[in-house]
Amino acid sequence: MAEHITLIYAGKEFRLPLVTGSEGEKAIDISLLRRDTGLITLDPGYANTGSCKSAITFVDGEKGILRYRGIPVEQLAERSTFKETAYLLINGELPPQKELTRFSVLLNDHSLVHEDMKTFYQNFPRSSHPMGILSAMVNALRSFYPELQDLDEETTITVTRLLSKVRTMAAMSHKISRGHTVVYPRSDLTYCANFLNMMFDSPVKPYEIDPDVVKALNVFLILHADHEQNCSTAAVRVVGSARVNLYAAISAGIAALWGPLHGGANQAVIETLGEIARSGNLHQMIARAKDRRNPYRLMGFGHRVYKTFDPRARIMKRMAHVLLDKLNLSDPLLDVARELEEIALKDDFFIEHHLYPNVDFYSGIVLKAIGIPINMFTVLFAIGRLPGWIAQWKESMDDPEWKLCRPRQVYSGPHERPYVPIEER
């Protein structure tokens, strides 16, 4: 007999099925709750609500586990590339060499952006944030690249087009914002090396590609490629449930990621380090963060999901120290970061409250060491999260239990009352 739980309400018993995931996690199926009982559940922030079944990513926050399609993220970060990881997330399996080569060719073929799109970039105010521009431009891609006739061909080309063009568009936005000549993608460079070259190459100072910097960017993108049903992924699924095109769904994900409590956290980390450096009193800032009565927060510490050390943070920490040691950078913010990390890892308050440095703390340091401008940090996160969004959208499109997302609410407004004519108000 299938497992269930019993709900007793108004003197009646209702049996609610239990659903068991492949890793043993259990969920109560409440899909018929309102029909059978007239009740709905109330769960602000959806912290206890599962919105779907998914075979893409497994997270165990208590044990510090993150796996893509069953493969530990530690193994992917050490041995894989972002391109291969993207293929894994979207297609479910690691590609054989022939398929990976085909995937690489498609990414190369679709790496150029329509020249008319430059006009859009040039008409955004110079002060525009790159995330706002990227969200708008991804939505605009649908106008430049209409749907094809064959559904399978359309999906494959749309996916590779997005993965390749978003990288190019991100580099373009940086170059145009600075008034510099746009650097075009090169067919002889890997995915990450290409992005770095488009960002930093110039006619007067050719960019020298450092394999350790390329590796660091690969690791950063892999670690951010998917993370279960987070805010931006949920946005992609919710918008996608209306059966919009992939570009519109991804645009929604970018907008959600922009927030400082989500993807913008790595930018907030550097801004926090800057604030500490300007104050010149690290210990005072730590005391403020530890004071429950003080709303001040140290960005980059703790995580809503992980109650132990974020597994991504361990990997990013190693990458950060490799880069800092090799590049021998002199930067007061990076000095503050190292001192803050050392204090936090030994402080009883931080340890007791599970406020370990998270992936945003170390990724902010890595991106700054690479030379990525602070306002581009979240854009890099978006490039990394793109294959996860695509995989989640694709999975939801193929879901036989698909439904248009339409949450309920508990109304807390006034009772029925008459309209009052304006002369009587």
List, by residue number, the catalytic residues. 303, 360
Nearest to 303 by CA among 228, 368, 378: 228
Angle at 247 between CA 176 and CA 221, to 5 degrees: 65
Q: Which two tokens stand for residue 333?
A: 């913010």
Q: What contacts 166, CB < 8 A, 6 or more positions away?
A: 134, 138, 382, 383, 386
Cα–Cα distance, 312 to 73 (Å, whole number): 8
Q: Which two tokens stand for residue 15?
A: 């049996």
List beta partners, residue 103: none
Count of CA atoms in the C-beta half-sphere (13 A) of 343: 15
DSSP string, 19-56: EE-TTS-EEE--TTHHHHHS-----GGGTT------SS
Would you say 313 and 282 are in contact if contact means Cβ atoms under 8 Å apart?
no
Cα–Cα distance, 59 to 409 (Å, whole number): 28
Cα–Cα distance, 96 to 102 (Å, whole number): 10
Angle at 173 between CA 172 and CA 178, to 5 degrees: 100
Q: Which residue has the tokens 């955004």?
A: 124
Chain CA centroid to CA 289, Å: 26
**What are the DSSP E strand ranges found in 77-186?**
none
**Long-range Cβ pairs for the range 404-409 (8 Å, 24+):** 404/241, 404/242, 405/51, 405/237, 405/238, 405/241, 405/242, 408/34, 408/40
Cα–Cα distance, 150 to 152 (Å, whole number): 6
